[in-house]
Structure 1
Amino acid sequence: MACPSLLVAIRRGLRALRIWRAVLTLIIFVWWDARHWTYPGGCTSERRQARQTIRARWLTTELLQLGSAFIKLGQLLSARPDVLPVQWVSELADLQDKVPAFSFEQAQILLEQELGDRCAEIIDLDDQPLAAASLAQVHRASLRSGRQVVLKIQRPRLERLFRLDLQIMQQVAAVLQRHPKWGRGRDWVGIAQECRRVLLRELDFRVEAQYAARFRQQFLDDSRIRVPAVVWELSTRRVLCLDYLPGIKVNDLDALLKAGIDPSAVAELGAASYLQQLVRFGFFHADPHPGNLAVAPDGALIYYDFGMMGLLSDSLRRRLGSMIRAAAARDAAALVEELQAAGLIAYGIDVGPVRRLVRVMFQDALTPPFSANVIEKLSGDLYELVYGQPFRLPVELIFVMRALSTFEGVGRSLDSGFSLMAIAKPYLLPLMTSSGSGPNDLFNELGRQVGAIGSRAAALPRRLDESLERLEQGDLQLQIRMGESDRQLRRMISVQKALGQSVLLGSLGIAAALLGASSRPIWAVLPLVAALPVGFGWFKLQIKLGRESRMDHLSSQSR
């Protein structure tokens, strides 16, 4: 009895070592890439971006090799541009969990375990899966009633491996959180806990069945949007049975044209359906890669895979209306206030740089005439804005923008006149009212703002009188902020210290070489020992200078 337990313990240990090896390799890469002297020919933004792209591809490959839980982790992290650089987010966004299928015999065994006598309802099960992913694979089947269905069958022994991997993820998150630099401003433990909650929920196909039924209910009256119905009597925790709805992949442009379907109309329909999900229902598909979208022969849009769904609260939807009003008015200060009220920007920080970056976004992405890839540009600006800053973007908003970008790209590929902003207008107008429920609310909001302006105007003479009185009494102080000059001065001091330490390190190295060549080479140890604290201080200064260089680069982009 001890042998199986020992084998399990060995497998768990080897799995933990494999994961920690990947984590430590990633940490070494991050440390190495932050050093300016590791870039031959000097550290430029182009060289840094090129290396970041290489690292992001390496991380994607590692996640694929680590298996199901880490593939899903990568997909979730692709919606966190506040904790990962832009190149990493873009690469992980393309992470598709296509893995080899497991055997048909295993699929039959699991069906029998889950369905029992109900397996008799399935009279024709294809032995070749339609698709295979990290969590499950899909087989087409026929029921005794003649109904054509698909069966989503979970991979064998998946939950046990998931729980082990998630436990190790928690340990990695705890280590990162304790680090003085990487843990600052980022809740790695909270992210790991959220990933655990989402991934374990996705293992329960009964939850996905409820999501699919709710999503289908939203579009029952719209013949242009089709969602497969759930066969409840053949759905369990590890098996999901849905109607079979075949179609052409949404990004297969040649097949769409051959079938006489206008891809631009498909892109318009998809973008409109997503806006409807966001504005009208607040419940939307959150895994919008082209593999989960198809087009029926009559041009209707078909949705698949409902494991990841997003939900926007009523309060956030109302806050979105205020954000859209501020963006339409190009009021950067008001938009920043709304972002703070929504919890997307931390309070108690200097919002000046944030306001400048928002103005850049207004100028580049939201200035008519709108460019064809407005969502792609807006997403890029948004990712640049939030990384390393006190932002907390809702994951749901990232998935929505990614979905709209997918349809924007399809429409742009065949129709140069395709405009997502024109499609969005009728859906954004309801949000521009205070509650999104009627046009009268807009007038109520305008009345409230006029009243607020009137109150401020009425109080203006009193405030002027108080300020003049304080000025006469000498109580009024003028505080001048010299943040930019102070930062440059601190950087000059750091550079001077680094230069002095470099000279000292060079001198100690020369002394060690001379003593090593003398008749008593043992004395060469002394300058080497003395060089250790100097070298440690030099490395800390390089880290500090690298961080200040990134801040200067960000500030220069915002001007």
Structure 2
Amino acid sequence: MRAVPKRLVRLPGLVWRCIRTGAVVSGYGVLFAASACASRVRRGAGGPALRNGERWAALLGRLGPSYIKIGQLLSTRRDLLPDEITVPLGRLTDAAAPPPLRDIEGAVRRAYRDVPWPFRSFDRQPVACGSIATVHEAVTLDGRRVAVKVRRPGIERVMRQDFALSAAAMRIMGALPGLRGMPFGLMHSQVGGAILRQLDFGAEAASLTALRANLAGFDNVRVPEALPELCTPETVVMEYVGGLARFEPGELDADARRGVVRAVLAAVYEMLFVDGLVHCDLHPGNLYFDRDADLVVLDAGFVIRLPDAVRRSFADFFINMAMGDGWMCAQIVIESASRTAEDCDLEAFRAGLCELVGAASGARSGDFELARFAGRLFELQRRFGLYPAPEFAFPLLSLLVIEGMIKRFDADVDFQAEAVPVLRRRNIPRGVVSLPQGK
């Protein structure tokens, strides 16, 4: 990730962004507190005030794209959060407020200022509005119907200011008792840098092409073709896919829902375990059904290529977890750690992870929750001073988003067993003599 340009994070602008963010948070904090007090007076409890999803969505929308992304990811976890929170947050996925039409037209014209205008027609009215870009229907000079993703004007400055502010927050967190030594700076650089990379539309066009090639063998998964010759640093042009339906269970019967779950997991595991290509943003604003009920992935802005060593380690951990081999899982974590504290008790860590993995592998499929497993794993690492490589955050984030969505289709899906067919096609992981036919 290239360094943050100083011209975009000058001190006066950074201070103003900090003041504005603080004012918005403080203002909504007062609203939440007042509602909680009123609820307590009326009903003897203040909890419902914090479950006002419309207010949370408004807060994140006011804060800007970096915070909207948090809301988008949280909206996928309807298995952990109530509908009154996740439903309003879900509208942040593709229904953000659009910029003025004159600003959109200006942004498109600037994007093609150095090349001939490539469109026979261009609809300024967006067909979808995300936190970073708007999407428009257009027709090229040779008659192709395309979708044009246009970066929001001024969005780069705001996101880079937020990146600088969150970096400062990470430094403060790293100085707190109990958190000293945690690689917050390195993790922020990796994860925050990947979020900033969504501003690079040239990289997104390349990721879309890589994603399409990666999933070419799946008859029931479709990725639109990017048109590199028409893309610019501020626009991504791809084939237009019409007749899309939101990724919701709807009226699908139980067999159809299970089929959808298997298709999604097979595609995600293929990317993750075989090619090391991680899509961290498969929320309902980027994943759809087409007219044939096949899956359509429309966005590749938050796609990460894992280092091969991280891909192998994550796959080894996953299959050994499915096998219930906590000792080997602990060994993989130890060997892949970015840093180990001098007073780390490795045997105690192994014992703790063996207990955690044993409980996970022995649970019924519907009882396993990756979010809780990941939280307990992180706590074990923090307690014993084993600091993971920051790249591990990406596959974990991808699976956490997917878990929240597909459990709405099939609450009893067995994430570990569904991974086995894909893992069987790659090199046999360390510690596994033979892979099981099913869990």
Counterpart pick for 1:428 among 405, 423, 438? 423
> 2: distance between equivalents of 1:124 and 1:256?
37
1:347-405 CA deviation, whole Å, 9 max, x = no partner?
5422455445434433443126x32353xx23312213314544537112212322441
Q: Does 1:278 align with 2:272?
A: yes
Deviations 1:506-545 (A, max 9, x none): xxxxxxxxxxxxxxxxxxxxxxxxxxxxxxxxxxxxxxxx
Is the contact between residue 202 and residue 307 of structure 1 (CA under 8 Å) also seen in structure 2?
yes
Q: CA deviation at 1:213?
A: 0.9
Partner residue in 2 for 1:395? 393
1:369-408 aligned at under 5 Å gives the runs 370-372=364-366, 374=368, 377-387=369-379, 388-389=382-383, 390=385, 391-392=387-388, 394-406=392-404, 408=406
Give CA deviations for 1:41-84 in whole Å, capped at 9, x if unaligned: xxxxxx9xx79x779998876443221234347779x7xxxxxx
Higher relative contact order (CA 8 A, sep 6+): 2
Q: CA deviation at 1:18?
A: 2.5
Partners of 2:205 and 2:226 within 8 A in 1: yes
Show the counterpart of 1:290: 284
Say if 2:66 is the partner of 1:69. Answer: yes
Q: Which residue in 1 is equivalent to 2:131?
A: 134
- Find the counterpart in structure 1 of residue 196 from structure 2: 200
| Partner Cα separation in structure 2 for residue 165 and residue 184 of structure 1 | 23
- Among candidates 164, 169, 176, match of residue 167 of structure 1: 164
1:253 Cα deviation after fit: 2.6
Q: Is the 8 A contact 1:247 1:302 kept in 2?
A: no
Post-superposition CA distance 1:116-174 (Å, at most 9, x none)? 37564322323321111121111111223221111111111222233333333333333
Q: Distance in 2 between matches of 1:143 and 1:121?
A: 6
Q: Which moved more, 1:124-133 or 1:111-120?
A: 111-120
Q: In the aligned structure 1, how far is the partner of 2:229 from the partner of 2:235?
A: 11
Match of 2:16 in 1: 14
- 1:212 aligned partner: 208
- SS state at 2:121 partner: strand
- Unaligned runs of 5+ residues in structure 1 are 1-7, 28-39, 41-46, 79-85, 444-559
Call closer, same or farther: CA 1:185–1:158 in 2, change over 3 Å. same
**SS of equivalent to 2:285:** helix
CA distance change for structure 1 residues 366 and 245 in 2, over 3 Å: closer, same or farther? same
Distance 1:231 1:325 in 2: 38
Distance between the aligned counterparts of 2:181 and 2:340, measured in 1?
10
1:239 corresponds to which of 211, 235, 238: 235
Question: Given the alignment, which residue of 214, 223, 226 partners 2:219?
Answer: 223
Report SS of the residue matched to 1:124.
Answer: strand
Q: CA deviation at 1:338?
A: 1.7
Task: Give the one of 354, 362, 373 matched to 1:367.
Answer: 362
Secondary structure of the 2:113 match is helix
> 1:275-298 CA deviation, whole Å, 9 max, x = no partner?
111222111322111221112222
How far does residue 328 in structure 1 lie from its aligned partner after superposition? 4.9
Aligned to 2:152: 155
The letter for the 1-side match of 2:135 is V
Could you say if the C-alpha distance between residues 252 and 289 of structure 1 is closer, same or farther in structure 2, counting changes exceeding 3 Å?
same
Deviations 1:398-444 (A, max 9, x none): 1232244146414316xx6x5544432211334571489xxxx958x
- The answer to whether the Cα contact below 8 Å between 2:257 and 2:409 also exists between their aligned partners in 1 is yes
Which stretch shows the higher mean deviation, 337-346 or 136-145? 337-346
- Is the CA contact 1:112–1:119 (under 8 Å) kept in the aligned structure 2? no
Which aligned pairs between 1:410-429 and structure 2 lie closer than 5 A? 410-412=408-410, 419-429=414-424
Larger Rg: 1
Secondary structure class of the residue paired with 1:150: strand
For 2:124 and 2:270, the matched residues in 1 are separated by 38
Structure 2 distance, partners of 1:158, 1:320, is 34
Q: Distance in 1 between matches of 2:417 and 2:397?
A: 21
- Separation (CA, whole Å) in 2 of partners of 1:366 and 1:300: 31
Over the aligned positions, Cα root-mean-square deviation in angstroms equals: 4.2
Q: Which amino acid aligns with 1:385?
A: L
CA contact (8 A) 2:108 2:150 kept: yes
Aligned partner of 1:550 in structure 2 is none
Counterpart residue type for residue 234 of structure 1 = L
Shift of residue 304, structure 1, vs aligned partner: 1.3
Matched letter for residue 240 of structure 1: V
C-alpha change, 1:333 and 1:200, in structure 2 (3 Å) is closer
- For the residues of structure 1 that align with 2:155 and 2:315, how far apart are their CA atoms? 42
Residues 451-473 of structure 1 deviation map (CA, whole Å, 9 limit, x = unaligned):
xxxxxxxxxxxxxxxxxxxxxxx
TM-score by length of 1: 0.60
Separation in structure 1 between the aligned mates of residue 323 and residue 353 of structure 2, nearest angstrom: 13
Q: Which secondary structure state, in structure 2, belongs to the residue aligned with residue 433 of structure 1?
A: coil
Q: Distance in 2 between matches of 1:9 and 1:345?
A: 33
**Partners of 1:57 and 1:349 in 2: how far apart?**
45
CA drift of 1:321 comes to 4.9
Please list the CA deviations of residues 173-193 of structure 1 after superposition, one character each: whole Å capped at 9, or x if unmatched: 334444x42651333333443
CA distances 1:458-499 after superposition (whole Å, capped 9, x unpaired): xxxxxxxxxxxxxxxxxxxxxxxxxxxxxxxxxxxxxxxxxx
Distance 1:326 1:59 in 2: 39
Partner of 2:33: none
TM alignment of 1:379-528, pairs within 5 A = 379-387=371-379, 388-389=382-383, 390=385, 391-392=387-388, 394-406=392-404, 408-412=406-410, 419-430=414-425, 433-434=428-429
Matched residue type, 1:397 = P
CA distance in 2, matches of 1:70, 1:25: 16
- Identity among equivalent positions (%) equals 21
Contact 2:72 2:283 in 1 (8 A): no
Distance 1:365 1:247 in 2: 40
CA, structure 1 residues 252+404, in 2 after alignment: closer, same or farther (shift >3 Å)? closer
Contact persistence 1:249–1:291 (CA under 8 A): no
Aligned residues: 395
Structure 1 residue 211: Cα displacement = 0.6
TM-score normalised by structure 2 residue count: 0.75
